[in-house]
Amino acid sequence: MNNNELWAQILSRIESSVSTMIYNIYFKDTTLVDIDNNNTFKIQVKNEFMKNHLLNHFDDLISEKIKEVTKKDYLYELVISQTELELPKKKEEDNTYMSQLPLESTNIVENQPIMNVVDEVFPDYNDNLNPNYTFENFVVGEQNGIAYTCAKAVADKPGVLYNPLFLYGKSGLGKTHLMHAIGNEIKRKYNKRVLYISSKQFKEDYQEIFSNKNTNTTLLEAFKRKYYDKDVLIIDDIQFLASADKTQEEFFNTFEAFRNFQKQIIISSDTSPDDLQKFEDRLKTRFAWGMTAQISPPDFVLKLKILNNKMAGHETANRIKPEVLEYIANNSQSDVRHLEGIINRLYVMIMMYQPEVVDLAFAQQYLKDDIDNNNYTENSIEKIKKAVADYYNVTVDTLKSKKRKAEINKARQVAIYLCTMTTDETVERIGLSFNRDHATVIHAREKITEDLKTSEQLKNEIKEIKDKI
């Protein structure tokens, strides 16, 4: 029996142990090229990707079937052919051709497309990019400035500067917008193949391949083609891969493949890489390899800027008084998606009632629901800050600064105390608006509560400030 006949017997046993799809994808094109020193099977596979998958998923199966047929404990080794692309695929030709191949090479041919069939599965490659999300219509401020700058840098030099770029922050703050902006710009400037995908979609695609036993081989080919055959991979909301061990493993492979070829990866998440729960450490480490940039909730200034920007150009914009936007900025959640909701509602109200001037009274009347629905009290953090700053004769900026002079510290603690007592804001959000963490907010609240027990003067001060808010 020669090597081909022997391997054919082993393959036929493997074939009956796995689905047709798996067999066709992983095993059909393998060849037994040698039995080294009479104890190691040298099996040739198409590429690095195949090799890794076979080792990860079918190691036991291969050893077992070799043993079943040969009745011996052979070792085996998977080898990749560098000239795979030029090879005739048909096995009949192996006898003459295969014996002359350089077998030891493990180099991946540079930029070798992993698959080139399956056009019928993804006939029109869709990059999923939304052309409406651009850098031009992204409003930049203190809370998103670093993320914006990094995003621009990546769009200018994809794969070179920051790889991966990891953007994180709470929902509704512009992560998805920035990612699309990067993708759109790279496409426009460099005509590169970009793919934007949510991690949920990645997971579904991957799970489909490994759960669906009856489909044909094109599925996996399509998967690889969809992901690997791109220059830029943008993967949104990576936190949804938590606990998805197999998918994480596959994402790890994808990640490695992209980085090794200096192809750009952009990832977003709701937390920093360190804080990602139920993620493999090797992934978390890699996420932080390039550049990590946080987007924080917009403060009053940035909210106002965004509002102005989104209003500009609208036919009713000139009827809206500036205090209306201030009112919205003051009383809305620190979340751009929510701001957009309020703007849309304002438009609708203007269209419906056609007021000559859109003033504070109009906004208060018709936007009350949006603001009340979200449990926002009359007192907003900004109002309190202003009242406290006026009372103690300091500026609002000083309250947010790191200055620790006794009087400033006291004013700041009073302001924080009032925010916790008279608004529905969370300690986290109050902290953010003072450039502090939640622990500082809790400490300030406790300190003032404690002092109030003994100080009549402090009691009066706080009463007077409250009257002014």
**Positions in the binding site for Mg ion (CB under 5 A):** 175-176
Angle at 184 (CA atoms; ends 183, 188), nearest 5 degrees: 115
337 is an interface residue for ligand ADP by CB under 6 A: yes
Q: Which of residues 293-322 bind ligand ADP (CB under 6 A)?
A: 306
50 is an interface residue for ligand ADP by CB under 6 A: no
The Cβ of residue 321 has, within 10 Å, a number of other Cβ atoms equal to 14
CB of 348 to ligand ADP, least distance (A): 17
51 is an interface residue for ligand ADP by CB under 6 A: no
Closer Cβ to Mg ion, 176 or 247, answer by number: 176
Closer Cβ to Mg ion, 175 or 203, answer by number: 175
Q: Is 8 exposed, middle or buried (0-12, 13-18, 19+ CB in 10 A)?
A: middle
Indicate which of Mg ion, ligand ADP, none lies near residue 290 (CB less than 5 to 8 Å, by partner kind). Answer: none
Closer Cβ to Mg ion, 175 or 445, answer by number: 175
Collapsing DSSP to helix, strand or coil, 195 comes out as: strand
Per the DSSP assignment, residues forming a β-bridge with 42 are: 34, 77
> Nearest-CA neighbor of 204 among 250, 162, 159?
250
271 is an interface residue for ligand ADP by CB under 6 A: no
Peptide bond connecting 123 to the previous residue in cis, omega within 30 degrees of 0: no
CB of 335 to ligand ADP, least distance (A): 8
Longest dimension (CA), the chain: 102
413 is an interface residue for ligand ADP by CB under 6 A: no
CB of 210 to ligand ADP, least distance (A): 29
CB of 89 to ligand ADP, least distance (A): 44
Instruction: Return d(Cα 220, Cα 225) in angstroms, integer.
Output: 8
Closer Cβ to ligand ADP, 137 or 455, answer by number: 137
Indicate which of Mg ion, ligand ADP, none lies near residue 386 (CB less than 5 to 8 Å, by partner kind). Answer: none
CB-facing half-sphere around the CA of 393: CA atoms within 13 A = 1
Collapsing DSSP to helix, strand or coil, 461 comes out as: helix
171 is an interface residue for ligand ADP by CB under 6 A: yes
Instruction: Name the amino acid, one letter, at 19.
Output: S
Peptide bond connecting 164 to the previous residue in cis, omega within 30 degrees of 0: yes
CB of 194 to ligand ADP, least distance (A): 17
Instruction: Return d(Cα 418, Cα 370) in angstroms, integer.
Output: 24
> Nearest-CA neighbor of 51 among 31, 80, 74?
80
Pairing mode of beta strands 31-36, 40-45:
antiparallel
Please give the span between the terminal C-alpha atoms of the chain, in angstroms, as a whole number: 94
Indicate which of ligand ADP, Mg ion, none lies near residue 150 (CB less than 5 to 8 Å, by partner kind). Answer: none
CB of 188 to ligand ADP, least distance (A): 18
The full DSSP string for 40-58 is: EEEEEES-HHHHHHHHHHH
Considering only 336, 343, 415, 448, the residue that binds ligand ADP (CB under 6 A) is 336
CB of 408 to ligand ADP, least distance (A): 31
The tokens of 397 are what?
Answer: 């900026």
From residue 112 to residue 151, the character string flagging contacts with ligand ADP as x (rule: CB under 6 A) and all else as - is: ---------------------x---xxx----x-------
Closer Cβ to ligand ADP, 3 or 144, answer by number: 144
Closer Cβ to Mg ion, 162 or 240, answer by number: 240
Q: Which of residues 173-202 bind ligand ADP (CB under 6 A)?
A: 173-177
The tokens of 394 are what?
Answer: 């300091």
Indicate which of Mg ion, ligand ADP, none lies near residue 138 (CB less than 5 to 8 Å, by partner kind). Answer: ligand ADP
Q: Which residues bind ligand ADP (CB under 6 A)?
A: 133, 137-139, 144, 169, 171-177, 306, 336-337, 340
